[in-house]
Structure 1
Amino acid sequence: MSAHCPVTLAGESLWLLAEKAIYWPAQRCLLIADAHFGKAAAYRSLGQPVPRGTTASNLRVLEGLLAKLDCERLIFLGDFLHGPGSQVEATLAPLRAWRQRHPALRVTLIRGNHDQRSGDPPADLGIEVVDEPLSLGPFALCHAPVPRPGQHVLAGHVHPVYRLQGKGRQSLRLACFQLGPEVSLLPAFGAFTGGHRIAPMPDSRIYVVGEQRVWPVS
């Protein structure tokens, strides 16, 4: 077990990270899906009592990754902001402060379904925003996990989790990566996102995340 798990996918070496992201050493690129910045703020705007501090928590994890990895580029695979209620100063101010600490980092957002509702991030965040797919090497970087002929799709959207069964009725639901022959899923990066349970599929590999470790289960 390790804080990162090296895998080969579409002929490329990738690191599956315990922080629920992928690092691509050859491209010096960090891939993150479903950050959902400002989700708690969006819920509070609807009068829902939810925890505060989720944006700060997510940014601390991101800062840790950028500190330990050699990154030139950061690509968000959709759902950067959660919704219109995320476009508030409580969410945008820490994002601006984070961006000012990393002015040389190239940041790209591939629009997801939540980005369609929330709108693009403010221009002063310096984020390039594109529609899917974004072709890079052998990969089609997307939000939706839809096969694309001739390319391996790396996507988010599903928020995959896997159930580990213990003795009796004991079980754990853990965020996971699912690597398939044509489409691979990243777990949701955001700390306040929930998850959708998945099951092993033919020719797929599942890697679960927990206790700051990544390990294969199928």
Structure 2
Amino acid sequence: MAMLRIRVADADVVLHPSGAALIGAERTLLVADAHFGKAVSFRRLGVPVPAGTTTETLRALSAALADTRASGLVFLGDFLHSARSHAPGTLDALRRWRAEQPDLPITLVRGNHDDRAGDPPADLGIAVVDEPLALGPFALCHHPRPRPGRYVLAGHWHPCISVGGRAFERLRLPCFWFGDDSGTLPGQAVGVLPAFGSFTGMHRIEPRAGDRIFPIADDVVRAIPALPID
């Protein structure tokens, strides 16, 4: 895996191919839109979907924590997908994973799915807060809306870009999407992380002038030059 270190709001941020981002100074890993229990929610509605997605997502999370040597973890909303995500199998998998790193501080910034799903069980040891959560120069949120005086890091949109040739041959790649942080374009001081969950959709974005886009392909985070500002 190839991570990429960038500067955002004059701070070091390390982009991990899993879709997580490490705030260097605080050694805190950010994860957006895990949507644990989404597959079981669909199955309970009679929709045939793959099994094992929670385990796959937790495996990726463990790898990201190890690769970045993070000392803290913040979920940027949508930890559980729905009220049906409180299924015994899903919660048991989460508890087993938590038991492997009992001393890791974990915080959840509530998102729209968390409002419906409810907070995680208390025995998972996850502090739950409403947005925004201040961390260094950043406001950690679920919804990608500007906040005065801070650069917002959020999720919610599951960003991706399309690459390739003709429309039917194009690929969609998950991406990190960082709005202009130079002050040149007010209101764009927002960065959006890709969805972390292994069973989530993606939304194709339309980059604006000054935006920086970092797609993920073949376990590598790549940089696309920012669009010029007129």
Equivalent residue, structure 2, for 1:76: 75
The answer to whether structure 1 residue 216 and structure 2 residue 223 are counterparts is yes
Equivalent residue, structure 2, for 1:27: 26
> Which sits farther off after the overlay, 64-73 or 177-186?
64-73
Alignment of 1:153-172 (within 5 A): 153-166=152-165, 169-172=168-171
Alignment partners' CA distance in 2, 1:168 and 1:33 = 28
Alignment of 1:4-153 (within 5 A): 4-153=3-152
Paired residue secondary structure (1:144): coil
Alignment partners' CA distance in 2, 1:168 and 1:92 = 40
Q: Which amino acid aligns with 1:109?
A: L
1:167 Cα deviation from its structure 2 partner:
6.0
1:63 Cα deviation from its structure 2 partner:
1.2
1:38 Cα deviation from its structure 2 partner:
0.5
**TM-score, normalization: structure 1?**
0.97
1:168 Cα deviation from its structure 2 partner:
7.6
Q: Which amino acid aligns with 1:207?
A: F
Q: Which amino acid aligns with 1:90?
A: G
Runs of 4+ in 1 over 3 A off after TM superposition: none
Paired residue secondary structure (1:27): coil
**Cα distance change, pair 168–100 in 1 and its aligned pair in 2 (3 A):** closer
Alignment partners' CA distance in 2, 1:189 and 1:125 = 19
Paired residue secondary structure (1:202): coil
CA displacement, residues 75-96 of structure 1 (integer Å, 9 cap, x when unaligned) = 0000000001100111000100
Alignment partners' CA distance in 1, 2:167 and 2:107 = 45
Equivalent residue, structure 2, for 1:175: 174
CA displacement, residues 123-155 of structure 1 (integer Å, 9 cap, x when unaligned) = 000000000000111100000000011100000
1:69 Cα deviation from its structure 2 partner:
2.4
Give the length in aligned residue pairs. Answer: 217
The answer to whether structure 1 residue 204 and structure 2 residue 205 are counterparts is no
Alignment partners' CA distance in 1, 2:178 and 2:145 = 14
Paired residue secondary structure (2:108): strand
Alignment partners' CA distance in 2, 1:164 and 1:196 = 14
> Which sits farther off after the overlay, 56-65 or 122-131?
56-65
**TM-score, normalization: structure 2?**
0.92
Alignment partners' CA distance in 2, 1:65 and 1:174 = 19
Alignment partners' CA distance in 2, 1:55 and 1:169 = 31
**Cα distance change, pair 47–151 in 1 and its aligned pair in 2 (3 A):** same
RMSD: 1.2
Q: Which amino acid aligns with 1:202?
A: A
CA displacement, residues 54-101 of structure 1 (integer Å, 9 cap, x when unaligned) = 000001111112222222110000000000110011100010011111
Paired residue secondary structure (2:13): strand
Paired residue secondary structure (2:207): coil
Alignment partners' CA distance in 2, 1:5 and 1:198 = 21
Q: For structure 2, which runs of at least 5 residues remain unmatched after alignment?
A: 181-188, 226-230
